[in-house]
Chains A and B, each alone.
Chain A
Amino acid sequence: QSALTQPASVSGSPGQSITISCSGTTNDIGFYDYVSWYQQHPGKAPKVMISDVDKRPSGVSHRFSGSKSGTTASLTISGLQAEDEADYYCSSYTISKTMVFGAGTKLTVL
């Protein structure tokens, strides 16, 4: 199974908005609305920020939002804060009843 495609890095200044893309295929993102996004700080376990494409779990800031178009999902972080600096990963369910991840995107807050 092929990994989802994410940009290696993105950056933004405090207060700005950034978007991280996650590109898949018609066998995963394009087939199901089962895309999740995770935030991982160094040395910590990943934390789910978005599930089912655009659902925010309880306790996650409204600054985080998700969307999907065709075979590409996106995570948008608005009002960027220093604490948002982390690695971000996307994942999707596949038609083979497996789960696949993106390689991760390093977000730098300038």
Chain B
Amino acid sequence: QLQLQESGPGLVKPSQTLSLTCTVSGGSITSGGYYWGWIRQHPGKGLEWIGFMFHSGNTYYNPSLKSRLTISVDASKNQVFLSLRSVTAADTAVYYCTRVPSSAPGGADHWGLGTLVTVSS
């Protein structure tokens, strides 16, 4: 059974970089047919797509975050990474690691439990 587990600091200072890791188990990110990426949810608010990528390197980002965002993978460790630079309080959110079928990229079919990241000094 596929499982996605987010990890990383729960507190990040303003202007610093938010870095999260998603460890995938029960399946390989290189098996093909899927994008791997991130979705976030501000406290008490709706869902916001951050971006996703193929393990081969093609990346797709939310235009509103693109200038600060890098999503990458380490296939040898079956991990997906999120790096969001120059964060502000507006980046405080629960961050979810997700899998999106490339044949049907309108939604994520697997989600991690999510990790809350607070941006505060």
User: Which of B20-28, B46-54, B68-76, B78-86 makes up part of the contact surface?
Assistant: B46-54
- Give the number of residue pairs across the A-B interface with Cβ within 8 Å: 71
A contact residues, range: 20 to 34
Complex interface: chain A residues within 8 A of B60 (CB): 97-98
Chain A, residue nearest B48 (CB): A101
Contact check, B62 vs A98: say whether CB atoms are below 8 A apart.
yes
B14 CB within 8 Å of chain A: no
Contact check, B47 vs A92: say whether CB atoms are below 8 A apart.
no
Contact check, B107 vs A34: say whether CB atoms are below 8 A apart.
yes
**Size of interface on B: residues with Cβ below 8 Å to A:** 23
Measured between alpha carbons, how far is A93 from B111 in the docked complex, in Å?
17
Contact check, B96 vs A36: say whether CB atoms are below 8 A apart.
no
Contact check, B106 vs A101: say whether CB atoms are below 8 A apart.
no
Query: Contact flags (1/0) for A19-57 with B, using CB distance below 8 Å?
Result: 000000000000010111110000001111001100001
Give the distance to chain B from A84, nearest Cβ to Cβ, in Å.
19
Complex interface: chain A residues within 8 A of B105 (CB): 34, 93, 97, 99
Contact check, B47 vs A51: say whether CB atoms are below 8 A apart.
no
Complex interface: chain B residues within 8 A of A36 (CB): 106-108
Query: Contact flags (1/0) for A58-102 with B, using CB distance below 8 Å?
Result: 000000000000000000000000000000010111001111111
Complex interface: chain B residues within 8 A of A52 (CB): 104, 106
Give the distance to chain B from A24, nearest Cβ to Cβ, in Å.
11
Q: Which residues of A contact B (CB under 8 A)?
A: 1, 3, 32, 34-38, 45-48, 51-52, 57, 89, 91-93, 96-104
Instruction: Supply 7 A–B pairs (Cβ within 8 Å), ascending by A.
Output: A45-B113, A47-B111, A91-B49, A91-B107, A100-B49, A101-B48, A104-B47
